[in-house]
Structure 1
């Protein structure tokens, strides 16, 4: 059975597609068989990233590891069982198609609440939730008082993850390993940053997730998208000397993949 990684967060701009592409490509480069599925059916940033990579590799003649890309199959209405949801059927069919030939399946969810996203979360063996280091993004996980110090209750996304955990438990499946990834953390020790750190640590103990380091804001991430490249590909395209920012970003990716603690994955880049 393929290990299913779901990258989810109901807020846009948290870095889901960047995390998805870099984790997927890192696994592919380490020799693991991995397929990606983009559930943002309108924007398709993750899907476009993989398509850009394929096109660039073909055009340049480079032979670099690339995640496979699977689309949701079309399903005839008459093939549905009574009361069965069309999107549930399409997602199940896509996962069944990928499971036999892959070590990992990575599903990138849209930055909004959809039926597809909800079902995908219940399939997750590992759930990655990228979060910008601000109380605006934190509000997706939990509500706080005006000081930002006291958590007053869970928010909509945490409740959805809780429901997904319940569904997995009822089906006799293993528990979701939920990893909240802190993106765009400032380098300086600021009051807001320290409050965020305390709030996330407190919440992790209350609702059960692990905390992992993510990516800081770097121009390189935006520059690589049109060619479908990642930080790990720079030397392969002729970049002989990485600058300090690129070296730091590569280390951030290494730390993230290590922190995910995925089965049979030894980080060697």
Structure 2
């Protein structure tokens, strides 16, 4: 007998744009499909539509090149079409319910703090937050403006960390489910700098305090950006055999396995697939 389960939700979120959420969300979704999981993607920043356009470009590229590549279902959700936040929430819930036939729901959020974005964070079983080596990104997690006055171990939380904490509490009170949070250092420069070492040190010390996992990092590689506009990923290109391309594929696989291992941890079933 098949045991029906709800689709597991992975949300890619940060209160700042330009950190690589859409690119990594696409790579994660496609790697999951290559691992025989069914996936539906939601672009909650539908007014900008970065993830949506990339997947549509993937469909078009496959048709033009007569290729048979995995393509996830994609929903473009435009919050601006709803007159109230409550209406947007209800519409989003209906969309998510319509896609409960897949194993994973991958949601790409807006690069800003919005009421709908906060609601989406509550939906996550695993939240993934990319962060670059910019101090501006770090400031969303901990208030580094006071770093000269006190140890980073006692610095007040930044705005995004506070928001995630609030949504964790709300999720736990409503569903008794725990939200696993993964922070991913993205676009890591291959030449180690003092800033890079400093930020990594702070993130490692903040991990147990704020309550996030520091996941596998992703290097700064132009191949990600070059392929993204076509809706392609480093997993699609078997002919890419340079060391940089092989390393890029391994980084995505490592990050994907890390996230999937957390999903298995929070799932009440042994298999994250929707039917067993």
Structure 1 residue 84, shift from structure 2 partner: 7.6
Distance 1:256 1:149, change over 3 A: farther
Aligned to 1:35: 40
- Check whether the contact 2:11–2:107 (CA below 8 A) recurs between aligned residues: yes
C-alpha separation in 1, matches of 2:207 and 2:27: 25
Paired positions, count: 256
Aligned 1:224-235 pairs, distance under 5 A:
224-235=227-238
- Check whether the contact 2:46–2:78 (CA below 8 A) recurs between aligned residues: no
C-alpha separation in 2, matches of 1:16 and 1:73: 17
TM-score by length of 2: 0.86
C-alpha separation in 2, matches of 1:223 and 1:186: 17
- Check whether the contact 1:149–1:195 (CA below 8 A) recurs between aligned residues: no
Aligned to 1:131: 131
C-alpha separation in 2, matches of 1:28 and 1:203: 33
194, 197, 201: which is aligned to 2:200? 197
C-alpha separation in 1, matches of 2:76 and 2:16: 23
Structure 1 residue 149, shift from structure 2 partner: 5.0
The structure where strand makes up a greater share of residues is 1
- Check whether the contact 2:189–2:220 (CA below 8 A) recurs between aligned residues: no
Q: Which moved more, 1:171-180 or 1:5-14?
A: 171-180
Structure 1 residue 190, shift from structure 2 partner: 3.0
Structure 2, unaligned runs of 5 or more? 1-5, 265-270
Aligned to 1:251: 250
Structure 1, unaligned runs of 5 or more? none
C-alpha separation in 2, matches of 1:46 and 1:97: 20
Structure 1 residue 73, shift from structure 2 partner: 8.8
Distance 1:84 1:20, change over 3 A: closer
Aligned to 1:107: 107
C-alpha separation in 1, matches of 2:56 and 2:247: 27
C-alpha separation in 1, matches of 2:7 and 2:186: 27
179, 184, 191: which is aligned to 1:181? 184
C-alpha separation in 2, matches of 1:188 and 1:60: 37
TM-score by length of 1: 0.88
Distance 1:149 1:73, change over 3 A: closer
CA RMSD, Structure 1 to Structure 2 (Å): 2.3
- Check whether the contact 2:103–2:272 (CA below 8 A) recurs between aligned residues: no
